[in-house]
Chains A and B, each alone.
Chain A
Amino acid sequence: MSLFLGISLGLLWGFLGHTLRQKTKLSLVAVSAWLTLLAAIVLPRVFKGGYLYALIGTAVSYVTMSSSHRLEKLWETLTVSCICALLVFFGQNVLVGIGGRLGTFAAVSVFIFTIPKAHKGLINPGRE
């Protein structure tokens, strides 16, 4: 249940981040910081064990700092958000207390999605 909720909240934060990037003139940092603030203040108060969800929301807010060249469409951002939520959920005991840990999860998530995308011609040359 908590994994499902974490992924759902990750998708919601991914949607919010993508929308803010597309529809407003907020800077990269402002979008991420507002989403982080929202996650950190709201989620621990609403859900039991909500700090984990706040971490997921924060990591996904870093995902949404990707350039449109890397993540162009909404479904791409949502896919990476889902991957990121999974990484945060299952990587809770990795790099504990190290600043930048969530950003590292976000970057790995982006690469998990973008590297196969960039090389899909190599994997399935017939469809290119």
Chain B
Amino acid sequence: MCRHALILLPLIVAALELLSPLFNHGGSLVCLTLIFVVFVIAPKRCGFRDWQRVLPSALISAAGALATFLLANYLNLGPLVASAVVGLAGTSFFKERHQLVLYLGAFVGMSSDARFPSLTLLIAAGLVGGVLWEVLNETWNGVGGRLGTVAATAVLVVLLTLGGGL
């Protein structure tokens, strides 16, 4: 149950955006509180132990994010084509499980360069995406769009904590 709290972050932010006239600074505070609760309390309460798989997933996700972002913004392919190219490249080199992680990273890399003026933050978001993928592994199984939601969560976590807000 506690894992659902984090994966719902994009929806909470979206709701706060829609209600932004009512919550000026309260929105960020709500999100930061949620992130704190989930990262500090959830891993212990959920009993997550399979940490050995986290590092490869984090690195693959970060690679996907970086590749997509560079293709989209430096080669001007645009985020849609760039994510598709990275996803298709992943199907040639990885097994299904890692294809999904790379595709998750590609979703992170679809962020606009206005949100990520530095590549460091983007790589951090990719790494967080890989970690979240492992932590939230059994959450929303079989739901199309789950990868994107995890990616959006990772992006929002990084922007809200390291990136100076939205």
Give A residues with C-beta under 8 Å from B.
27-30, 32-34, 36-37, 39-41, 54-55, 58-59, 62-67, 69-71, 80, 91, 93-111, 114
Contacts and interface: CB of A to CB of B under 8 A. Distances in A.
Contacts of A105: 145, 148
A100 B88 contact: no
A34 B111 contact: no
Say which size band chain B's interface belongs to. Answer: 35 or more
Given A33-B103, A99-B107, A110 B144 contact: yes
A112 to B, nearest CB: 11
Given A36-B83, A37-B85, A40-B80, 14 more contacts: A27-B91, A29-B87, A33-B91, A37-B84, A55-B80, A64-B144, A67-B143, A95-B17, A95-B152, A97-B115, A98-B159, A101-B152, A104-B152, A107-B146
Interface SS majority for chain B: helix
Interface of B: 10-11, 13-14, 17-18, 65, 78-81, 83-85, 87-88, 90-91, 96, 99-100, 102-103, 107-112, 114-115, 125, 140-156, 159
